[in-house]
Every structure is written in structure tokens, then in C-alpha cells.
């Protein structure tokens, strides 16, 4: 009887073990099957071979085991790249790892607000953020962010993708602090470039007319003088093409936070207001903030800054003049999001400052700016340089939305989010994401055959990113100690100039004074350690204007002769520069 009693227990134990083994095999099959499905249907474009992709996806499945069944929450602004992540990549990640991701798409200002609230309250709101690297100066000073480089060496050592290949990322200099630590991981990036109607610029009648009026060739403007002449030419002399009113310039002027981005992103740097230095001018950056070591010491000219200096006043004056004279009348009352689609409507000849994030929306068949075969009638090129610009300076802005992790997020949730972040930038996924959103982050993707094949329909995007010139386009840098507090000042004061309420000089005097006031409050609070602000005493502005570098004294002639270059010649110079960089002379 005793033996008979034992036998069923043995059978039950054996059956239980079999069920567990079967369950484990089923789960393993579930995740590997999901990976195969996604690889065959979605991630067909990759710089990795199929076997390498499978290995990378298998790593995610294995690494995710301790977090399986969790739901994590992340936030980003709403652009095409992040829409792809939210709708496609989050689902793929869940099926391959068992970790559910709620990827919220919100306005850029809301991302900064949520991030700031979490930093101030130490209450977890999101497990990770994709926020602009413009906050690098904020992140490395406040000590609220977990440095990526520390995380990789520490708690995330066993959860860091072996094929992450940080050296392949093109924007790491944007997300590295003065202490040499990597604080954010680039997820997408796009530049602001010059945009123009190449089909109009190629017309013999318009080329002849322009040459007769201005004495030089119609082409890609290399300086602001030529840009201004071209703006005047199309708005004043051409006026209409094929029955459609045309304008030589596009911008926006409504009092709105996006008016501040227009300026903090690049307006002063294109004019040449800051100092030489890549990624940002030192000691004075494109915001006009001077640092000594890593300490901000002032933004007004009387403290050694350049926010209200002659170059900044020149830049603001041109912004106001061109908006009034050469842009469509309704542009004065538009915001960034309202003005963005206007060039695609077919009535704009050029735009000095155009975000390449609009590329995908600008090359859709059926648009007035797209040919029957799907190729664009437009092209993008480097923005022209202002008269204060000098060699070695940054020339424009590059947005670098980057994964950011806060110390206030519980470690387990942060590590699960770190896995998702790596998934969105992994080599299995990144090329397809680049082709969808056109916001490249990897050198290997930029140089892939897939990008070569796509190039004819992208109007110069691929050529730009393959060019050594791209290093002159950079985000806001580390001179800015508190991006949320300082950025909100800009649109309020710039709007005074845009509306005509105040002169450009008076508006910028107000801005510089307001920035110095914020810097002084941060200095008194002593919350940013040895790299926090310590303002210079006020001096006679002439003292600083007579020193080398920025702030720069007013030029006797702010409009040198216009200078242009043929687009094909520009491309050849890029290709030659790229060849020299790779192979030497």
C-alpha cells in the first residue's frame, strides 16, 4: 500500500516538472517567434546581417527576464520618429521582451515641464524621458540625472547591449558634460538648414533677371547679404510664378514659446554672435552667456556676455526686417507649428532656417513642391553666414532628442526603461527608424546603401549628414545652467521686437538683464556646486567690446557683397571634404 501511495506522487511531480519545462519552452518560443516575425516584416532594413539581428533580439529577450510583466512609462515630444516608436517599437519591444511600454507623445514644452517637476519633487512621473540635449547644462549641474556612463559601469552593467556601439553615434559630444560623463543617449536628431526651390533657382529667365539687378549669380547664398538680395528679388521683383504669389522668405512672429526656440536654437550663431568652438562657443556661446571654467559669469555685455551685443542686435534687426518685408503677411501672426507647413504649399522661394524634421512631410507625392516622379523640387543646404561669423564657430542648430534617466526613478523601473531605450536605437531597429523619421543618429545608418538609395528623394539630407560640415550644427551647450528657467525668457522679449513694441536693442537689453537676474538667483541658491553661476561685476560695455572674441564690436559695414555658390558645386565640395577626411589628400 505504501508503494502504491508513492507512485501517484512521483507521477504528479514528473507531470509538474514537464508542465514547467513545457511552459518555459512555450515562453521561449513565444518571444523568439515574435522576434522572427518583427525581423521578417518590419526590421528588414538594417546594417546588421540577419543572424546578427537575431542575436541582438535574443539578447533583449534574455536581459528582460527580471522585468517581464512590468509596465513602464516614457515620454517624448510629438514628431514622426517618436510616433513610430510609440506606435510600432513599443509594441515590438513588448512582444519580444514581455515588458509593456506606455510611450506618451506630448508637446515639447510639456516634456520639459514634466521633467522639471520630477527633478524638483523627486517624485517619479515617467521612468525615462526623451528630452532635448539642450538641457545638458542643467543635467550635469543639478545632480538629478543618472549619467549614462555611470549607469553602464554600475547597475546597468548586465543590462547594456553588447552591440550598443556608442562610437557609432554621431551626437555624443552634445550629451557629454564638462566632466567627461555621458548624461544622455541620442535617440533622434535633425538640423536647421537653408531650404530653397531648386527648380526656380535653375530657371534661365530668373537667373538672367537676378544677375541684371544684383550683379552676381542666383544660387545658394553663402552670406546673409545674398540671402537678403534673394528674398527681395522674389518678393519685390518676381512676385508671381505660374499664377501663384511668391515670397522670398518665410518665418513666424507670434508671441509664443516657439518664438524663443527660433533664437536660442541658432539665430545668433548664424549671425556670428558667439565665440569660436565646437560644439559651442567658448567662453561665450550662442545664447550670449559667458563662462569662466564651467561657471556662467554673465550674459549682458557689461558682464562680458553677448546677448545684447552688436551681433545679436544685428541678427534680431534682420529677423524683424525680413519678416515684415519679404514673408507672407500672415507669417507675423504664426507660430512654429503653423509656419512649418507653409513652404510645402508652393509659394516660398527660400527659408534661411528650416528644420530637416520636416523632410518626410515635404516630399509627399502630390505636393506643389514635389515632381511627378516623387523627387523634390526643393533642396537643403548649409545656412548662410552672418557678417560676424568667423571660421571655427558653430553655424546652426541640431536638435538631439536624447534618452534621459532620473535618480528619482526606482532602479528596477529605470533599468527596464533602459532596455527599451536601447531597443529604440539598436542597430536592428535604427536604420528603419531613420528611414521613417529621417532623424539619423548612427554613422553606420547614414553611410548605408539604404540611405544612398533614398537620397534622391530627400533633397540633400543624406549628403549633408555624410559631410564633415555637419559638425558645425550643434544643440544648446553646457554654458546654459538652467534651460527651463532661461529659455522661457526669450520668447517674451523677442516678441517685443517682433511686434515693434520695442527696438531690437531695447528688447535684447531687457533679455540680457532678465537672464543675469536668473543667473544671480542661481548663484545665491548655491544649488549647482562648483559649476554654478558666479556673476562678473558690471563694467563699461566698451571694455568688453574691445577685448578679443565675443562680445564683438559693431562692424562698420554689416552688409558685405552678396556671395552665392551653385548647388552642384557645393555638393562636390562636401564630397571632396568627406574623401579627404577618410583617406587624406
Digit-coded pLDDT (tens) for 381-419? 999 999 999 999 999 999 999 999 999 999 999 999 999
Q: Residue 578 above 90 pLDDT?
A: no
Task: Give 54-83 pLDDT, tens digit per residue.
Answer: 999 999 999 999 999 999 999 999 999 999
Q: In whole angstroms, what is the distance from residue 200 CA to residue 369 CA?
A: 11
Q: Which grid coordinates are listed for 569? A: 558645386
* H or E stretch covering 475: none
Considering just the CA atoms, what is the radius of gyration of the chain in Å? 27
Residue 283: asked if its preceding bond is cis (omega within 30°), the reply is yes
HSE-CB for 67 with a 13 A CA cutoff: 26
Name the average pLDDT for the chain.
93
DSSP annotation string for 263-288: IIIIIHHHHT-S-S-SSS-SSB-TT-
Task: State residue 585's pLDDT score.
Answer: 56
Q: In whole angstroms, what is the distance from residue 369 CA to residue 171 CA?
A: 31
Structural contact between residues 563 and 222, judged by C-beta atoms closer than 8 angstroms: yes
Phi, psi of 432 (to 5 degrees): -60, -40
Task: Give 223-253 pLDDT, tens digit per residue.
Answer: 999 999 999 999 999 999 999 999 999 999 9
User: Can you tell me the mean pLDDT for 100-108?
Assistant: 95
Structural contact between residues 314 and 389, judged by C-beta atoms closer than 8 angstroms: no
Q: Residue 163 above 70 pLDDT?
A: yes
Q: Hey, how many other C-beta atoms are within 10 angstroms of the C-beta on 569? A: 11
Q: Which of 230, 314, 198 is nearest to 267 (CA)?
A: 314
Task: Give 553-564 pLDDT, tens digit per residue.
Answer: 999 999 999 999
* H or E stretch covering 130: strand 128-132
DSSP annotation string for 142-204: HS-BPPHHHHHHTTTGGGS-TT--GGGBS-GGGGB-TTS-B--EEEEEEEEEEEEEHHHHT-H
Q: Hey, how many other C-beta atoms are within 10 angstroms of the C-beta on 192? A: 26
pLDDT band at 117; cut points 50, 70, 90: very high
- The three-state secondary structure class of 2 is helix
Q: Residue 205 above 80 pLDDT?
A: yes
Task: State residue 108's pLDDT score.
Answer: 86
Q: Residue 164 above 50 pLDDT?
A: yes
Q: Hey, how many other C-beta atoms are within 10 angstroms of the C-beta on 206? A: 18
- Candidate from 21-30, 33-42, 71-80, 94-103 with smallest mean pLDDT: 21-30
Task: State residue 15's pLDDT score.
Answer: 45
Q: Percent of the chain beyond pLDDT 90? A: 88
Task: State residue 577's pLDDT score.
Answer: 57
- Which CA distances in Å does 393 have to 138, 143, 473, 546, 548? 23, 30, 10, 20, 15
Q: In whole angstroms, what is the distance from residue 220 CA to residue 198 CA?
A: 9
Q: In whole angstroms, what is the distance from residue 104 CA to residue 95 CA?
A: 19
Q: Percent of the chain beyond pLDDT 70? A: 93
Task: Give 292-337 pLDDT, tens digit per residue.
Answer: 999 999 999 999 999 999 999 999 999 999 999 999 999 999 999 8
Amino acid at each position: 500500500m505504501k508503494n502504491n501511495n508513492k507512485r501517484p506522487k512521483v507521477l504528479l511531480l514528473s507531470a509538474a516538472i514537464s508542465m514547467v519545462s513545457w511552459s518555459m519552452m512555450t515562453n521561449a518560443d513565444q518571444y523568439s517567434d515574435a522576434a522572427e516575425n518583427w525581423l521578417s516584416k518590419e526590421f528588414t532594413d538594417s546594417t546588421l546581417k540577419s543572424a546578427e539581428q537575431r542575436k541582438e533580439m535574443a539578447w533583449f529577450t534574455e536581459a528582460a527576464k527580471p522585468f517581464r510583466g512590468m509596465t513602464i512609462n516614457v515620454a517624448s515630444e510629438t514628431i514622426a520618429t517618436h510616433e513610430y516608436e510609440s506606435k510600432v517599437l513599443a509594441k515590438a519591444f513588448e512582444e519580444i521582451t514581455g515588458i509593456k511600454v506606455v510611450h506618451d507623445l506630448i508637446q515639447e514644452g510639456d516634456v520639459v515641464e514634466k521633467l522639471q517637476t520630477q527633478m524638483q519633487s523627486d517624485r517619479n512621473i515617467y521612468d525615462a524621458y526623451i528630452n532635448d540635449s539642450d538641457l545638458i547644462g542643467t543635467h550635469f549641474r543639478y545632480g538629478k540625472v543618472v549619467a549614462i556612463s555611470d549607469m553602464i559601469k554600475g547597475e546597468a552593467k548586465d543590462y547594456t547591449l553588447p552591440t550598443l556601439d556608442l562610437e557609432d553615434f554621431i551626437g555624443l559630444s552634445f550629451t557629454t558634460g564638462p566632466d567627461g560623463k555621458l548624461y544622455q543617449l541620442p535617440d533622434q536628431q535633425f538640423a536647421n538648414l537653408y531650404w530653397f526651390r531648386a527648380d526656380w533657382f535653375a530657371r534661365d529667365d530668373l537667373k538672367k533677371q537676378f544677375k541684371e539687378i544684383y550683379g552676381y549669380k542666383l544660387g545658394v547664398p553663402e552670406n546673409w547679404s545674398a540671402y537678403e538680395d534673394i528674398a527681395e528679388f522674389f518678393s519685390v521683383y518676381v512676385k508671381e510664378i505660374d499664377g501663384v504669389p511668391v515670397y522670398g522668405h518665410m518665418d513666424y512672429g507670434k508671441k509664443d514659446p516657439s518664438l524663443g526656440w527660433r533664437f536660442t536654437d541658432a539665430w545668433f550663431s548664424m549671425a556670428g554672435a558667439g565665440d569660436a568652438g565646437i560644439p559651442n562657443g567658448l567662453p561665450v556661446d550662442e545664447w550670449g552667456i559667458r563662462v569662466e571654467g564651467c561657471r556662467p559669469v554673465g550674459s549682458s555685455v557689461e558682464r562680458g556676455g553677448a546677448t545684447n551685443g552688436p551681433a545679436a542686435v544685428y541678427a534680431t534687426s534682420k529677423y524683424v526686417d525680413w519678416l515684415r518685408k519679404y514673408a507672407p503677411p500672415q507669417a507675423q501672426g504664426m507660430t512654429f507649428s503653423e509656419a512649418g507647413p507653409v513652404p510645402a504649399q508652393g509659394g516660398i522661394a527660400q527659408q534661411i532656417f528650416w528644420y530637416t524634421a520636416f523632410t518626410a512631410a515635404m516630399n509627399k507625392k502630390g505636393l506643389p513642391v514635389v515632381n511627378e516622379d516623387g523627387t523634390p523640387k526643393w533642396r537643403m543646404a548649409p545656412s548662410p553666414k552672418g557678417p560676424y561669423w568667423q571660421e571655427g564657430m558653430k553655424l546652426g542648430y541640431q536638435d538631439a532628442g536624447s534618452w534621459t534617466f532620473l535618480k528619482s526613478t526606482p532602479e528596477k523601473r529605470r533599468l527596464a526603461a533602459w532596455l527599451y531605450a536601447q531597443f529604440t536605437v539598436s542597430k536592428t531597429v535604427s536604420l528603419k527608424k531613420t528611414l521613417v523619421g529621417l532623424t539619423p543618429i548612427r554613422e553606420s545608418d547614414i553611410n548605408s546603401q539604404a540611405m544612398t538609395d533614398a537620397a534622391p528623394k530627400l533633397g540633400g539630407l543624406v549628403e549633408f549628414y555624410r559631410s564633415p560640415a555637419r559638425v558645425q550644427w550643434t544643440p544648446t551647450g553646457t554654458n546654459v545652467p538652467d534651460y527651463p528657467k532661461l529659455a522661457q525668457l526669450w520668447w517674451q522679449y523677442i516678441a517685443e521686437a517682433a511686434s515693434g513694441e520695442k527696438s531690437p536693442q531695447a528688447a535684447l537689453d531687457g533679455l540680457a538683464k532678465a537672464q543675469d537676474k536668473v543667473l544671480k538667483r542661481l548663484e545665491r541658491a548655491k544649488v549647482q556646486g562648483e559649476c554654478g553661476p558666479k556673476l562678473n561685476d558690471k563694467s563699461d560695455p566698451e571694455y568688453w567690446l574691445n577685448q578679443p572674441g565675443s562680445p564683438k564690436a559693431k562692424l562698420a559695414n554689416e552688409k558685405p557683397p552678396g556671395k552665392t555658390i551653385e548647388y552642384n558645386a557645393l555638393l562636390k565640395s562636401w564630397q571632396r571634404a568627406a574623401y579627404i577626411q577618410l583617406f587624406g589628400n
